[in-house]
Structure 1
Amino acid sequence: MHAMQYEITLPADYDMEIIRKRVATRGHLLDDFPGLGLKAYLLREREDGSPVNAYAPFYLWVTPEGMNSFLWGPGFQGIVNDFGRPVVRHWVGLAYEEGPASTAAPRTATRRRLPMPGDVAPAEAVTEALALHAREAKAEGVVASALAVDPRHWELLRFTLWAGSGTDVPAEAGERFQVLRLSAPERANLGATPCR
């Protein structure tokens, strides 16, 4: 599994309905994309308390071939044409769990990036993070949750989809995003292969 996200920061006075319309008219194009576990179409708005307006899609890829096909294909080129080429963050997947609300449509997503302590062995930090992830994925309202690592920056990433609105999500869960849509053609395969 591979996690991927790009975040396009938009002007404070940007009409966010343009992004909603974009997702409503184009989002279905990835509903059967090979190798895609899921794509959460995410949005942050200043009027909801975010420091910025942003469009920030988040992907979980079952195969690197699917991710490569997207990045070098017309889907990502559409983003480049409309907004310029964003930095694409990438993490190696460690774990994926379906939560107690797995059948619900997600309304909120959270992203928590945590540096791995330099004085702790990487294997030990990952083992602790996996145990915590397994517990957190069972929290009420969790649709699904993923844990990943960026070994270049030694950063852990916890990404969680929630059934409730932002106010229903625990404050410690991390940065909040609205989920406009979810494409999940191979979601069932995300937890199929142990990542460790």
Structure 2
Amino acid sequence: MHVMQYEITFPADYDMGVIRERVATRHTFTDAFEGLGVKAYLMREKGVDGSPVNAYAPLYLWRTPEGMNTFLWGPAFQGLSADFGRPVVQHWAGAAYAEGPAVSTAARTAVRRRTPIEPDAELSEVLAQSVHEIEQLGVLDGVLLAAAAVDPRTWELLTFSVWDHDSPKAPGDIYQVLHLSQPERDLLPRVRHW
């Protein structure tokens, strides 16, 4: 699994209805995208759930690198870049994935936490703890899915979860989920990825 996210921030007075409309009219493109496990169309609004910014920040769980590359070099990403400028694309190597008891319900919120990995930390212990955290998130009421990943360039741990309600029980930045594409979710490897 490869995790990918880009974040486009907007001025405080930006009409986020533009983003809602964009997602509502274009999400079908990824609903059957080959190689894509899950795409969470995420949005933050200034002043909502503690957000300091307006932002569009979709997060992807790619099943294959070919799917990710096809998306990045293809017309959808080029269209986004033409409309908003080409964003920096962050990516992480998948470490763990779990599905929760609410996997068949509608997604409402997501939580993303980014944690630096200390230089002297034992990587196997950090990753074992992240797997344990994903397993624990995966059994909570309201969780659709949870994932952990690592950026080995910056040594950052990413923890991500999707919830079916507006009060997620996980620390991190809270996002509204505008749509959840999941064409190959059932093919994502479960729990530990090494």
Q: What's the TM-score bracket when you normalise by the shorter of the two chains?
A: over 0.9
Q: Which letter does structure 2 place at the counterpart of 1:134?
A: E
Distance 2:11 2:118 in 1: 35
- Secondary structure of the residue that 2:76 maps to in structure 1? helix
> Deviation of residue 125 (structure 1)?
1.3
> Deviation of residue 173 (structure 1)?
2.2
> Deviation of residue 132 (structure 1)?
2.2
| Mapping for residues 98-137 of structure 1, pairs under 5 Å | 98-137=99-138
Gaps of 5+ in 2: none
2:187 maps to 189
2:10 maps to 10
| Mapping for residues 1-196 of structure 1, pairs under 5 Å | 1-48=1-48, 49-165=50-166, 168-170=167-169, 172-191=170-189, 195-196=193-194
Distance 1:112 1:68 in 2: 25
Distance 1:179 1:2 in 2: 20
Distance 1:193 1:98 in 2: 9
Q: Which letter does structure 2 place at the counterpart of 1:173?
A: P
Distance 1:113 1:174 in 2: 8
Q: Which runs of 4+ in 1 moved over 3 A?
A: none
> Deviation of residue 193 (structure 1)?
8.7
Q: Deviations over 1:40-98 (max 9, x none)?
A: 10110014131000000010000000000000000100110000010101000011100
Distance 1:9 1:69 in 2: 25
Distance 2:2 2:178 in 1: 22
Q: 1:194 to 1:132 in 2, by over 3 A?
A: closer
TM-score, L = length of structure 1: 0.95
Q: Deviations over 1:142-164 (max 9, x none)?
A: 11001100111111110100010
- Secondary structure of the residue that 2:12 maps to in structure 1? coil
> Deviation of residue 192 (structure 1)?
5.2
Q: Which letter does structure 2 place at the counterpart of 1:186?
A: E
The count of aligned residue pairs is 193
RMSD: 1.3
Percentage identity across paired residues of the two chains: 56
TM-score, L = length of structure 2: 0.95
> Deviation of residue 121 (structure 1)?
1.5
> Deviation of residue 118 (structure 1)?
2.0
- Secondary structure of the residue that 1:138 maps to in structure 2? coil
> Deviation of residue 116 (structure 1)?
1.3
